[in-house]
Chain A
Amino acid sequence: MSGLNDAISQLETDWNALVRHWEEVKQVWDDEVRREFEQKYWEELKSHMTKVRRELEHLQVAIDGAKRRINEMR
């Protein structure tokens, strides 16, 4: 597995863990302040993560493709 694949996998693991913890927090915290936090911070982080993960996938396709072709050329 390449360094990039490892990194993507690590990012996924960390993000999923944080999402899981947030879901747990939501189970025990249900008020306006939580919703404010969610709207102000959590949703924004989620949006950034979604974009980064999407671009990482595209990047991964490009890098993997490039490396594969280079190997074939040799």
Chain B
Amino acid sequence: MPPARVKSIDKLEEFRVHLIRFKAQTLQTLDVVELEIRCTLDLLQEQMDYWRREVLRGREMLNRGSEESRSTARLYLDRADANLSEVMKWIRLVLKQAEEYRRQARQLKAWLEDELPKADAFLERKIDTLQRYVSIEAPSSGYATVSPIVASGAFAAPVGQAGVNEALPAAVEFARRLVNDICGKPDATRTDLAGHLISGAYPNFQERPVDASKYGFHRVFTTSDLPIIVLEESNLTATESSSTWRGEREAPGWIETRVEKKESPMSTQWLPTDKRIASLVKDVGFDYSPAVAVVIDRERSRVNLYVHSVDGDTWQLLPQAVVSTESPQTPSLLASTQSETPILQSAPTSGLFQDIPLDQVDWDDVGKLTPADYQKVSYEEMKEGLRKFIHVVRPAVERGATADYFDQMDQAQGLDYHNGYRRIYDAFYGSTCIKAEKVGGKYRVTGGRHRLTLARELGLTSLPMRVVAKEKQDVRAE
């Protein structure tokens, strides 16, 4: 595969936005032109009718008048005749040019309607591929564009220099499938990973023996198909978090772990995950050099991706890596992962933030809205905002972008808050997001009816909403 050379994914994303905007603007302009053609032809038609009438009047004058007045009538008739002929000539010319123009305009319109979405999808795929597979340089700023990304084609390309190897896409795809599989089980937290990897969909995986107490991974799998290593966190390291399956800080499980750590303070298992991966890969030795490590923390239903950097032999976490969020704090997120969006990223705002299918919304409660009902934000403005949401904000958020990212984007593009992307982010993921309550099997929207209605009009099938849990409603109701 020839190398991919993209220095800025943001530029591609921006271009997508401009392309979509161009379509809308051009279609509008073509409509204006069509209107102008019709107005001109109407005007010419009026003129033709007028001069026809004048020709008739001139003929009458010619027939009825005296010798002297007939001379004047002749002049008048000649002028009316000439004008009528000229108007008809202009009508023919305008019609001919209009037809030529319309022929081209129809083709352009057809292209904008049929081909531009394909061009957009092409770019989307390209951006998606790049963003999922590139190394991210500035995780602290949320999600950032890397400087020159050059797919090298070799395993374990230097990630620090933004190299992405060819195996990474396949590995990421694999990780996604794995997450889907794990999250798709009714009893996800008890899913047997080995069963998944060794049989069924992943027949080429083999389990490798590993010293869990040394590396903090109690199961390790490799395959000859991909330069990938799948690691399952052991319970001991999981307890390093202050809130884990083994209990909150100071709980018996947590204390037990602290004791174990004190007894063997130098053990690798206490190191951060990236260091433990490096240590394990170095010690075990593989037939190939793993480029991607899929780290599964089953107890927390989390999967993270680490990519190998040859420089310094380190492993870097992809900040927007695949994350399956099933935690005691967000029980309903697991359900979401089974629906339309297979992998839901960690919510950018607190609370139960879910991607809600619009067919699960209580539309009777939303009611009917017409463009005239859009008063706080105009219909067109909201439409434009939704386009930004669809093409820029949502894809970026799904890859881990936060409010900071959109602030930076606005700054870079010289957009103020009112016209910027941060406003769109806030409208869907921030303080002004759509809010809903689950009542029975439906979601009753308590804020955001206009966005919701317009989204459905634009063909969206789901939207992010902050959902108030039923339990909370009950408590509140009481």
Contacts and interface: CB of A to CB of B under 8 A. Distances in A.
Interface of A: 2-4, 6-8, 10-11, 14-15, 17-18, 21-22, 24-25, 27-33, 37, 40-42, 44-45, 48-49, 51-52, 54-56, 58-59, 61-63, 65-67, 69-70, 73
Nearest to B119: A41
Nearest to A29: B6
Contacts, number: 146
Of listed A7, A8, A28, A51, residue having the most chain B CB within 10 A: A28
Interface string B85-118: 0110011011011101101110110010001101
B35 interface: yes
A4 B111 contact: no
A72 B83 CA distance: 10
A19 to B, nearest CB: 10
Contact of B97 (A30, A51, A59, A69): A59
A22 B26 CA distance: 17
A73 B40 contact: no
Interface stretch (B14-22, B201-209, B421-429): B14-22
Interface string B21-49: 01001100100110111011001100100
A42 B19 CA distance: 10
Contact of A44 (B7, B11, B98, B115): B115
A17 B392 CA distance: 19
A73 B262 CA distance: 103
A66 B40 contact: yes
Contacts of A73: 47, 51, 83, 86-87
Given A31-B3, A44-B115, A37 B123 contact: yes
Contacts of A33: 4, 126
12 contacts: A3-B32, A6-B32, A7-B32, A14-B22, A24-B15, A27-B11, A41-B116, A41-B122, A45-B111, A59-B97, A63-B97, A65-B90
Contact of B107 (A17, A41, A51): A51
Contacts of A27: 7, 11
Which 10 residue pairs spanning A and B have beta carbons closest together?
A41-B119, A28-B7, A66-B90, A55-B101, A7-B32, A4-B36, A62-B97, A48-B108, A28-B8, A31-B5
A3 B90 CA distance: 19
Given A7-B32, A56-B33, A14 B26 contact: yes
Nearest to A11: B29
Q: Interface residue tally of chain B, by bracket?
A: 35 or more
Contacts of A69: 86-87, 90
A45 B14 CA distance: 18
Given A45-B119, A58-B100, 15 more contacts: A3-B35, A4-B32, A7-B29, A7-B33, A14-B22, A24-B15, A28-B11, A28-B12, A37-B126, A42-B119, A45-B111, A55-B100, A62-B97, A67-B43, A73-B83
A29 to B, nearest CB: 5
Contact of B36 (A7, A40, A49, A54): A7
A4 B31 CA distance: 11
A70 B18 CA distance: 40
Nearest to A13: B25
B328 interface: no
A70 B47 contact: yes
Nearest to B17: A21
A52 B105 contact: yes
B15 A25 contact: yes
B33 A18 contact: no
B49 to A, nearest CB: 13
A38 B104 CA distance: 21
Given A3-B36, A63-B40, A29 B118 contact: no
A70 B44 contact: yes
B25 A10 contact: yes
A61 B119 CA distance: 34
A67 B116 CA distance: 36
Nearest to B8: A28
B459 interface: no
A42 to B, nearest CB: 8
A4 to B, nearest CB: 4
Contacts of B200: none
A52 B101 contact: yes
A66 B5 CA distance: 53
Contacts of A11: 26, 29
A8 B37 CA distance: 13
A58 B97 contact: yes
Of listed B3, B91, B126, residue having the most chain A CB within 10 A: B126
B57 to A, nearest CB: 15
B48 to A, nearest CB: 10
Contacts of A17: 18, 22
Given A28-B8, A45-B111, A63-B36, A21 B93 contact: no
Contacts of A10: 25, 29, 32
Interface in B263-315: none
